[in-house]
Structure 1
Amino acid sequence: MITTVRAFLLTLLVLLSGCATVLPQSVSVGDSEADVIQKRGQPTNRYKDGNVDLLEYMTGPWGQRTYMARLENGRVVSFEQVLTVQKFGTIRVGEATKDTVLKTIGTPSDTSYLPLRDLEVWSYPYKENEVWDSIMHVHFDQAGVVRQMLNGPDPRRDPDVRFPFGGFGFGFGRL
């Protein structure tokens, strides 16, 4: 019995220590760039916006979260999840450029091209209002200016959506 309890406690300790490595430490205002990298690892991208350094932390291809650390004079002034309705709302159609979009919401998960409309499309999956699995598509003209933004449900996360060649979304779909 004692061995079983010890084995259970050891297993629990290992699992809890694993959670600490999977869930990164939180970044605080005032942290240095070295602190951010120590807590979150190397950024997926770096951008410069005037005197502000931006460190992007994308959660993987087709991840629904991208975090952006904004640093002034080597210190964090903000650290936020940028794939949100509020952040998308700051991108101005007809004014924003690819550079603006990268500095606002980071690298897209996917890019595509619409030949009939001659538009490049950057796609960003996100959790709309922390509830709905959605995708925001940002359309650019040949000059790199945002011409349209469209969002909708993310079919890859809908178990009822069948993909070509017999595939399904992440669920099993209805048979």
Structure 2
Amino acid sequence: MRLAAALALALLLTACAVPEHQTPGTPRAQVVEALGAPTLAVPLAGGGERLIYSRQPAGQQVYQIDFDAHARLTRVEQVLTLAHFQALVPGVDTRESVRAQFGPPALVEHVARFDGDIWTYRIEDMGEPRQAHVHIDPAGVVRLVMFTDEQRGDPDSRAH
């Protein structure tokens, strides 16, 4: 009986440390105590603040955790989704707006056919591992967003 109670308590405490399980209205200090230091903090209009918790480069989640001007939790959202990247507007979004929304990328790449950085984020789309590639020109403006399938593990040995 004691073992079952201890196990239930351990599960409850573990659940509290997951971003999705944070309760609206929770004070900022309590959220940070449960989740640890954020990857990035971004001011929001109206005096609020967004904490970014990223699991990049290994994970496929970035959580936006928003607080109002009174440092109370208002929203938690996992934003590494196809829809969030499709909402970026080339020519309008910038390096700063991408960073404020998704945090730092998993990888920064360069290719011969584009003069600038390509920020790569690991995402999951309908259960499939994908990558979002955000092309940012030298002036810091998003020029293109494209998606590729992420190759994991060794190639199929039967192809040889």
The interval holding the TM-score normalised by the smaller chain is: 0.7 to 0.9
Equivalences for 1:68-107 in 2 at 5 Å? 68-73=64-69, 74-107=71-104
For the residues of structure 2 that align with 1:49 and 1:17, how far apart are their CA atoms? Answer: 35
TM-score between the two structures when normalised by the length of structure 2: 0.82
Identity of aligned residues (%): 27
What amino acid does structure 2 have at the position aligned with 1:118?
D
* Paired residues for 1:24-173 under 5 Å: 24-25=17-18, 26-50=21-45, 51-73=47-69, 74-129=71-126, 131-155=127-151, 157=152, 159=153, 161=155, 173=156
Identify the match of residue 174 of structure 1 among 147, 153, 157. 157
Which of structures 1 and 2 has the bigger CA Rg? 1
| Counterparts in 2 of 1:28 and 1:89: CA distance versus 1, 3 Å | farther
Task: Check 1:112–1:22 CA distance in 2 against 1; reply closer, same or farther (3 A cut).
Answer: farther
Residues 134-171 of structure 1 show CA distances to partners (whole Å, capped at 9, x for unaligned) of 0000000111100001111111x2x453xxxxxxxxxx
Q: How many angstroms apart in 2 are the aligned matches of 1:149 and 1:28?
A: 33
**Distance in 2 of aligned mates of 1:89 and 1:31:** 31
Question: Aligned partners of 1:174 and 1:22: how far apart in 2?
Answer: 40
Higher RCO, 1 vs 2 (CA within 8 Å, ≥6 residues apart): 2
Contact 2:17 2:34 in 1 (8 A): yes
How large is the RMSD of aligned CA atoms in angstroms? 2.7
Point out where structure 1 has 5 or more consecutive residues left out of the alignment. Answer: 1-5, 162-172
Q: Distance in 2 between matches of 1:92 and 1:47?
A: 20
Greater displacement, 15-24 / 71-80: 15-24
- TM-score under structure 1 length normalisation: 0.75
State the 1:132 CA deviation: 0.7
Corresponding pairs, count? 154
- Per-residue CA distance 1:51-87 (angstroms, 9 max, x = gap): 3311111114231001111112111221110101221
SS at match of 2:50: strand
- Structure 2 gaps of 5+ residues are none
